[in-house]
Amino acid sequence: MHLVCVCYGQPADPAAFDDYYTRVHIPLALKIPGLVSFTTGKCRSLDGSGPPCYLVARLGFADADSLTTALRSAQMRAAGADVANFATGGVTMHLEEHNVILG
């Protein structure tokens, strides 16, 4: 599986981030062509310090061609443009080729 990983920094207002992300951003992302999985996870550090990210979203695509099509789509551009509307803690995005070792 090929993933777009979006790492959101700590927002100025976590409740407002969560509300906007759920009501507006997720529905935009779900329109991206070729999307076969979409997971999110809120981050906590193991040592009690502040985690480097507030939330990580992983958008999965079956293969490299599907990912390429998605990255070029109007729907991906719309979702990407929307990030500035709520990600007050900044955002880092990267691509990942996902290999399951166990499970």
Structural domains in the chain, sorted by start: 2-97 (3.30.70.100)
Measure the CA–CA gap between 95 and 82, rounded to whole angstroms. Answer: 19
pTM above 0.85, yes or no: yes
Measure the CA–CA gap between 44 and 66, rounded to whole angstroms. Answer: 32
Backbone angles phi, psi at 59, to 5 degrees: -105, 120
What does the pLDDT look like over 28-66, one tens digit per residue?
A: 999 999 999 999 999 999 998 989 999 999 999 999 999
Measure the CA–CA gap between 65 and 92, rounded to whole angstroms. Answer: 23
